[in-house]
Amino acid sequence: MDFRQAFSREPQRRASWPALSAAPAPPSSEGSDVLLATAMEVDTQLSLPGPPLPGPSGDGPVQPSPPPLSTGAQLLPKGWRQTLPEEQQDWVGRALFTSRTGKKPVLTGDLRLWWYPPGARLLYTETPSAHDFYQCRFFLWAPYRMWAYRLTCPNCGNQLTGAGLYKTVRRVLDIDGWYFMGTEYLECGSCKRKYSAWAQDIIRQLDLAHQEKFPAVLTLSCDKRVVGLMKERTLGNSASRLRAILVEQHTKEWMVQSLSYLSVLSKLQVPGVAPRQVSVPPMNPIPTVPWLISIYAREALGRLEEMKARVTSIFGDILKLGSTKKMTKKLAGNAAGMAERVTNVSNEHRQVLMSVLTASEEDGLLPMAAGLVRRYREAGRAPPRVLYVNRDCCATAGRCKVAALFGEWDQLLVRLDVWHLMQRFARAVTADSHQQYGLFMSRLSFAMLEWDGCDVARLKEAKQSEEGREPTSRELARHCRRYTRGVAETELLVQEVLDSFSEVTDTMSVPLFERAKMEEVWSTLRHHLRCIQDPPGVELYAKKGEVTRGGVKLPVYRCARGTSSLEWFHHHLCTFVPGTSANALHFQVYLLEGLVRWNEDCARVAVESDARRSTLRCYSAQLQRGLSQLTQQFLGMTLVENYTQPGEYTGELIGLEYLYSQTGAAALQLDVGRDHDALDGTDGLEEDWEEVEYEGFEEELHRVSPVAQLPHPVQTAVPTQPYHPPAVEEEEEVRGPDGHRGYQHAVHLAHALVELRHHAFVTQRQVREIVSLWQKLSDRDKAPISFPQRRCSKTAHTPGVDSVTSSYLGQGAGAAQFPYANRMLEAIFLELSHIHHEGCTIAGVPMNRWGAVERAYSVIRDNLYNRRDLLAAAPIQLPEVNNRTLLQWHNKRSKAMMTAMERAVVPGPSAQQTAAELRSPARALLQEPLRPDQPLTLSLPEDASGQAVTHSVALAPALYKFITTTAASSSTPTTPRASTSAAPPATSTSAAPLPPPPLLPPATSTSAAPPAASTSAAPLPPPPLLPPLPPPPLLPPLPPPPLLHPQPPPPLPLPCPDPPPGRGRSVRKSSGGPRRWAFP
C-alpha cells in the first residue's frame, strides 16, 4: 500500500484498532492518528496470498484480512527480525508494536526511551524457554515522534518528517551486558533524502538536555559509560584493564542468567527420567583492546577543539619551565624516535600552560615561547613576574638564554630551582648511599633557606600541647614558610658546610667527597647563588586553609618556589599514556585529555579550601555551561563550578602537532584506526595526589632528617639505659629525650613492672610500690596513650586502615602497637631488650630474641591486669605488641643512634635556623575561578521540542499551541485597553515572528481571519519550567489560533491522487477552494 494512501485512509480505520498489547495508549487526537499511520507504520509483509477482493469504496481490489498475529516476532518489521536475536524478538514485538485485525502492525502510542523485558516468571510448573532468562534492555530513539522535535535536513535545510522505522537495530556494549537500540527514519520532503535519527547530523540539532539522553557512541556501538571509564588518565587505567573488567562483569551476568535457567530445569526434573537436552545461549564476546581504544579516540576527537581551547586558556603569575625524557619512550608507530623531550610550562597553581614534544632540548622552544607571549598579549593579561628553571638561569653578559625566549617580557625574573642547585653539589659526592649523604644535603638546605620563626614557634606549641613531640619534616613543610638567606650569608654557610664535611668518613673510612673535586664544583656554582634568591615583592606562599591541633590554629601553606610541582607533574605525565606505547593519534588524545583533567583538578584546589571542597566534579565544558545557564536563571546560583572556563582557541600547537611542525613531517592525521602497537596492561593504584603538598624542594629530600632543621634534634627512640637506673635525688628533675621533665619517674615505674616477670602474682607490697611510683609521674605521663597515627595507603580513605589490618592480632585482641607509644612503655621494652640480648631455649624449643621479650611482657600484662585494685589506683596501659612492631622499633632506634653518632663528629651550623624578622603574610586562595575575556563559543542549540508540524497538523497540538501563544504574546506590544477599542480590526500577531515555520501561507491565513481580541487581553506569562503536559491553567480551552486555522478545523482529507513528481502533497481546503501544495 502506498504511503499517501495509508495517510488518506487511516482516519477511517482507527475505530477498528484493538487495544495495545504492552500498555494501553491514551485517547489520541485525530492528528495523532494520522501521524501514527503515516510516520510509524512498518512493513511486516504478512499479507496472505489470495484472489483480490473489491474494496468497499470501489478504489480497487484489496487483499483479504490476515489472521490475527500469534507471536510478538511477527509484529516486528522484517529488518528488525533479521538483526534482533531470537530471544529478544517476542518481547520487543509485544512491547513496542500493536496488532490490528486485518491491518498492519503499528508502533505503540505510549512511547518511551528505555524498554525493559518482562524476564522470567517467579514460579514455573512446566519447562520454560531459555529466551525468558537471557533477555536484555531495548532503547528506542525517536526524537521527532517522542518530543515533536523540529529537525531540519542537513543537506537543504528544510524540515524533516517521519518516514517509519529504521530497518535495522544495533547492539550496544554496556558495563555489565548488552542492550539493543532502534530508531526512526526521517525524510526531507524537498530533496527526498532520508536520515536515521541517531546520525550525528541529527543529534547535533538537539538541545543539550535531549542530546544527553542518547546513551551511546553509536559509531562503534558502545555505551558512553564504558567510554567514560577510559577518560581518567591515572596509573593503570588502560584499555586492557577496562576489557578485563568488562569480561568479568559480562561473565558474571551470563552465569547468573544460566544459573537461574538451569536451576528451574533442575526443580522440574522428574526422578528416573533422563534430563532433556537443552541449549544455553553463549555469551557474546567482548570486543578487543584495539576496538576499545578506537572507541575512546573517536569520542575524544569530537571534543578536540574544546580540549585545545581549555589548555590555551590557562595563565599564571609565577611560571615554571622543565622537560622530561620519560614519556617520549612511549611514542610508537611512525613517530617513534622523533621526540627527545617533553617540555612543559606550569604556573603557581600547578596548572600546565603548555606541553610540547621537541626533537632536541637545546633548540626549538622559540615558537612555544612566542605563542605564550601572544596568548598573554591578546588576553590583556599582565606578563608573569618570575620564571623558575633548572638550567640556563644566567649569562655572563646580557640576558640569559631562557629570558631571551620571552623577549617581550623585559621585566621577567629568571630563577634557578634550589633543589637542582643542590644536586649539582651532589655530583662530587662519592655515592648517594653514603651514610653522611643525608646529613650533608640537609646542611646544604639549611645554608640556603631558613624557616619562619613565628610559624615554627606556633607549630612547636601545637605539637607539645597535643603529643609532646617535635615537629616532623612534613609538618614543617605543611605549616611553616621558608625564605632564602641572601647571597653573602648563603656563600658563607655553604663554605662552612664544605669545610665541615671535607674530612668526614663513614664507618668503613670512605670519605663523603674528594676535596679537590668539590672545590672545582663549588667554584662553578658560586655565581649561581644569586639565581636562587627569592624575587623581591613576590609572595611565594599561599594560605590554603587552617587546621587546629592542640588548641592552636595552624595555617596550611602551598609554596610556589622552584620546579618541584612540575617534577611531580612529570611523574603523572607518564601515566597519561597507558601501557608501554601508543601511536601518534592516540598519544595526542591521551595527552590532551590528561592536561584538561589535570588543570581542572589543580584549579579546584587553588580556589577551594579543604572545608569548601565540593564532591561534584565534571570535565565537560559544554555540559557545565548548559547547566550553569539554567541554574543561574532559575536558582540564581551555580551548582557545578567550572574552574577552567575555556576561552577561544589561540591556535598554539600542542603536543605532537608542535613536534611535526618542528621536524617538517606531515601533519598529524586525525583519522581513527586501530593501534596495534599499544601494549596495555600497566597495573597500579591511583595516587591521591590532591592530598600531597608541594612546599618546595624539601619534599624531594627523602633522605633528609628533620634533625638539622630544628634547634632541638628529634629522636624517635629512648637512649640506652642501664638495667638498674641510678639513684637520683628527689629534687632533681631529669629531662627525657623528648625534652620533658620527670623522665626518671617513668624509668623507675618501668623497672618495677619489669620485676613482675618473675612472679605469678602481685603482692600487696608490690601494689603499694607501683601505686606510689605512678603518683609521682607527671600529668603528661599519666595521660591516656595517644597511639601514633599509622601509615595510610594512597587508596585508603581512613588513616591507619591498612596498617591496622596488617598488624591485627585476632578476634577481640585489637592491633599491635609500637613501644614508643609513651615514655614508660618504651622504658619497659628497653630494659627487656637489655635482659634478652639474644635468643634463648625454653623446654628445648629455640626462641628468638624478640619472642623472649614478648613472652616476658605478656607475663607482666597478665600480672598487672589480675589485680583490679591496682588498676583502679594506677590505670596503667600496656597495649598489645608483636614481633613485627618490636623489630621495627629496634631498627628505627638503631638507625637513630647511628645518625646521632655520625652527627657528633660534624660541627653544627653557626647561623640561626629560623628567621627573626617578620615577613609579609601569605597570599590567600583565589576567591573564584578566572574568567576568560572571550569565552569559547559553544554551539548549544535551542530546544525545538513541540514545534514539529506535518500536513497542517502539529505533532503535539497542546504544546505547539502554548509555544505559539506565548511567542505571540511576548512579541505583541502592550497598549492601553481604551486605545484598542478604537483601533481597526487586525489579525492577531500576523506580523509577529514565530519560532516554528508557518503551517499555511501568510496570505491564506489572514484573508478571512475575524477581528482578533488578543491585543486587548493580558498576555499569558511564560511558565517557569516547561512541563511535559501543560496544566489546565496554562492552557485554557481557547479557539484555534488564526495562524493554525482561520476557521473551524476542516474535516479529514479524502483520498486523493498522488501529487506530480517533485511537488508537495496536495491538501484540499474544507471550503472547497482551490487546491494548494504544502511542503513539510
Assign 541 a pLDDT band (cuts: 50, 70, 90): very high
Q: Say how far residue 304 (Cα) sits from the centre of its chain.
A: 18
Residues 173 and 180: their CA atoms lie apart, in Å, by 9
Residues 446 and 497: their CA atoms lie apart, in Å, by 10
Residue 765 has pLDDT above 70, yes or no: yes
Three-state SS sequence of 173-231: ECCCCEEEEEEEEEEECCCCCEEECCCHHHHCCCCHHHHCCCCEECCCCEEHHHHHCCC
Q: What does the pLDDT read at residue 394?
A: 85
Q: Does residue 719 come out as left (phi exceeding 0), alpha (psi in the -120 to 50 range) or beta? A: beta
Residue 362 has pLDDT above 50, yes or no: yes
- Asked if 355 and 598 count as a contact pair (C-beta separation under 8 A), the reply is no
Residues 164 and 41: their CA atoms lie apart, in Å, by 6
Q: What are phi and psi of 982, to 5 degrees?
A: -90, -5
| Closest to 321 (Cα-Cα) out of 357, 362, 352 | 352
Q: Count how many Cα atoms sit within 13 Å of the Cα of residue 304 in the half-sphere of its side chain.
A: 18
Non-local CB neighbours of 1076 within 8 Å, separated by 6+ positions: 1001, 1004, 1066, 1067, 1069
Cell numbers for 285, please give them: 564476546
Assign 274 a pLDDT band (cuts: 50, 70, 90): confident
Q: What is the pLDDT of residues 64-77, one digit of tens each?
A: 555 555 688 889 99
| Closest to 1055 (Cα-Cα) out of 102, 164, 59, 65 | 59
Residue 647 has pLDDT above 70, yes or no: yes
Greatest alpha-carbon pair distance for the chain in Å reads 130
Residues 133 and 748: their CA atoms lie apart, in Å, by 75
Q: What does the pLDDT read at residue 70?
A: 62
Q: What does the pLDDT read at residue 671?
A: 58
Q: What does the pLDDT read at residue 609?
A: 58
Q: What does the pLDDT read at residue 687?
A: 33
Assign 1016 a pLDDT band (cuts: 50, 70, 90): very low
> How buried is 982 (Cβ within 10 angstroms: 0-12 exposed, 13-18 middle, 19+ buried)?
exposed
Average pLDDT value for the chain: 76
Q: For helices 366-379 and 656-663, give the axis angle rounded to 10 degrees.
A: 130
Measured between alpha carbons, how far is residue 295 from residues 220, 523, 668, 681 in Å? 7, 57, 19, 18
Q: What does the pLDDT read at residue 662?
A: 84
| Closest to 104 (Cα-Cα) out of 59, 149, 171, 37 | 37
Q: Count how many Cα atoms sit within 13 Å of the Cα of residue 180 in the half-sphere of its side chain.
A: 22
Q: Which residue has the cell 612529570?
A: 570
Kind and range of the H or E element at 163?
strand 160-165
> How buried is 2 (Cβ within 10 angstroms: 0-12 exposed, 13-18 middle, 19+ buried)?
exposed
Q: What does the pLDDT read at residue 993?
A: 40
Q: Which residue has the higher pLDDT, 997 or 413?
A: 413
**Buried b vs exposed e over 209-248: b needs ≥16 C-beta within 10 Å?**
ebbeebbbbbebbbbeebbebbeebbbbbbbbbbbeebee
Residue 564 has pLDDT above 70, yes or no: yes
Rounded to 5°, angle at Cα 950 from 944 and 951? 155
Q: What is the pLDDT of residues 808-821, one digit of tens each?
A: 555 555 677 888 77
For the segment 203-214, the average pLDDT, to the nearest whole number, is 91
Q: What is the pTM of this model?
A: 0.69
Q: What does the pLDDT read at residue 1037?
A: 44
Q: What does the pLDDT read at residue 930?
A: 67
Amino acid at 540: L
Q: What is the pLDDT of residues 945-983, one digit of tens each?
A: 878 887 667 778 788 888 888 877 766 554 444 433 334
Q: What does the pLDDT read at residue 1051?
A: 41
Q: Which residues pair with residue 188 across a beta bridge?
A: 160
Non-local CB neighbours of 631 within 8 Å, separated by 6+ positions: 637, 638, 639
Amino acid at 105: P
Q: What does the pLDDT read at residue 178?
A: 95
Cell numbers for 650, please give them: 589561540
Q: Which residue has the cell 597495573?
A: 683
For the segment 511-535, the average pLDDT, to the nearest whole number, is 92
Cell numbers for 1038, please give them: 481557547
Q: What is the pLDDT of residues 121-168, one digit of tens each?
A: 999 989 898 999 999 999 999 999 999 999 999 998 899 998 889 999
**Buried b vs exposed e over 616-634: b needs ≥16 C-beta within 10 Å?**
eeebbbbebbbbbeeeeee
Q: What does the pLDDT read at residue 35?
A: 34
